Amino acid sequence: MSVHDKNRKKAVVLVSGGLDSATTLAIAREQGFACYCLSFDYGQRHRIELESAQLVAESLGAVQHETVALDIGWMGGSALTDSSIAMPEVEEPGIPITYVPARNTIFLSVALGWAEVLTARDIFIGANAVDYSGYPDCRPAFIEAFQQLANLATKAGVEGDRFTVHAPLIDLTKAEIIRRGEALGINYGLTVSCYNPGPRGEACGRCDSCRLRAQGFRDAGVADPTKYREKPPEFD
């Protein structure tokens, strides 16, 4: 840790290896935080995400990056953790099957514990309510409720040293997120968004997440650095 790092406020930043959390990390750094990044080996079917998370954290100047083994895949219930559930290729009405039960609550809880130990009072999460309106734990009301819980549930909070949970992407479209990240110099080629990537992170070009991401680059007018297994998604 450099002298410069010691003078900065600390933040814990959840980093998944995807585009949104990379942008969130870049925003936290731009705001002057010394960033302590946290990733979870939670039983996701696609381990390449964890390698991406490491590369993203390094490339965006994380002070420390921890990958925590916390298996929530054993409970099933999501196409992201249970290989017996087919990955959807068409959008279904309601909350998508890619929803992972209580994932953001679980991840933020671990982030909160680490933040308290680090004396970091800021936690960043790349939740976004615009493109993922189906996920209950990506809504502003959830973020506000978790912040309230953080201040009730911790020694620091009770003693008046309050936590802030930041979700800087919450109201942005995918294109706005990409423009923001582009301006902050992110190499999105390091990130993996696909729900069904190849062994080196090649995107399928067909899943919901691939389509949202490709549409975002298109709408943002930014060249898409994604490596596709066959071809990029096609648009009408």
Residues that bind Zn ion (CB under 5 A): 194, 203-204, 207, 210
DSSP string, 11-59: EEEE--SSHHHHHHHHHHHHTTPEEEEEEEE-S-S-THHHHHHHHHHHH
Tell me 234's DSSP state. Answer: P
Contact 209/183 with Cβ under 8 angstroms?
A: no
CB of 209 to Zn ion, least distance (A): 6
* Separation between Cα atoms, residue 53 and residue 65, nearest integer Å: 9
CB of 118 to Zn ion, least distance (A): 35
Q: Which is nearer to Zn ion, 63 or 207 (CB)?
A: 207
Distance set, CA 30 to CA 4, 26, 112, 216, 230 (Å) = 14, 6, 21, 22, 36
- Which residue, 147 or 196, has its beta carbon nearer to Zn ion? 196
Minimum separation from the CB atom of position 208 to Zn ion (A): 8
CB of 193 to Zn ion, least distance (A): 7
Shortest distance in whole angstroms from residue 83 CB to Zn ion = 16
Measured distance CA(23)–CA(7) in Å, rounded = 23
Instruction: For Zn ion, give the closer residue by CB, 154 or 209.
Output: 209
Q: How far is the CB of 207 from Zn ion (least distance, A)?
A: 3
Task: Output the six-digit token pair for 140.
Answer: 């502003």
Residue 74: strand, helix, or coil: helix
Nearer to Zn ion, 50 or 214 (CB): 214
Smallest distance from Zn ion to CB 187, Å = 19
Q: Are 168 and 194 in contact (CB under 8 A)?
A: no
Name the β-bridge partners of 65. 37
Q: Which is nearer to Zn ion, 18 or 43 (CB)?
A: 18
Structure tokens given for 73: 């895949």
Which residues does 187 contact at the CB level (< 8 Å), separation at least 6?
59, 225
Distance (Å, rounded) from C-alpha 70 to C-alpha 84?
20
The residue among 181 and 201 lying less far from Zn ion, judged by its C-beta, is 201
Pick 77 or 88: Cβ nearer Zn ion: 88
